[in-house]
Homo-oligomer: A and B are copies of this chain.
Amino acid sequence: MNQELAKRKGLELIQRSKIAMIGSLDEKGYPNIKAMLNLQYEGMKIIWFSTNTSSKRVQQIRKEAKTSVYYVDQDRFSGLLLLGRMEVCTDEESRKALWFEGSERYYPQGINDPDYCVFRFVAEKGNYYEGLCNISFPIE
């Protein structure tokens, strides 16, 4: 598997994933993991999530932007790990872009709910594996 194939397969994995796992660092230095809905992405360079402003993860990411996003297919033994930086966005454009039918369940006050915010992840490098084969690549 070369880098091009690994990137193509990684992107296919993103496309068929219902969730992604977010890795962040807590105040005591433990890597935390949380599944989030796979909502929107621009290739594998920029990935968007929506979340509660009051959540632990928002506090963690405001302190430490270095994060990861991970997709896994447990039946094929394949996975994609992206390392990069996460930004917490509260501007209207980001809110609108990520709002979907059903978001009211999480943010009852609607699109301007102060407890609604958006994560914008920018990937710097990736690793895709399938079975025993794994390959790393930069993400420009």
Contacts and interface: CB of A to CB of B under 8 A. Distances in A.
A28 B67 CA distance: 11
A29 B25 contact: yes
A67 to B, nearest CB: 7
Interface residues of A, number: 28
Contact of A29 (B18, B33, B66): B66
Contacts of A23: 23, 30-33
Considering residues A21, A23, A79, A132, which has the most beta carbons from chain B within 10 angstroms of its beta carbon? A23
A35 B72 contact: yes
Contacts of A72: 19, 21, 35
In the A-B complex, the 3 residue pairs with the closest CB atoms: A23-B31, A31-B31, A33-B70
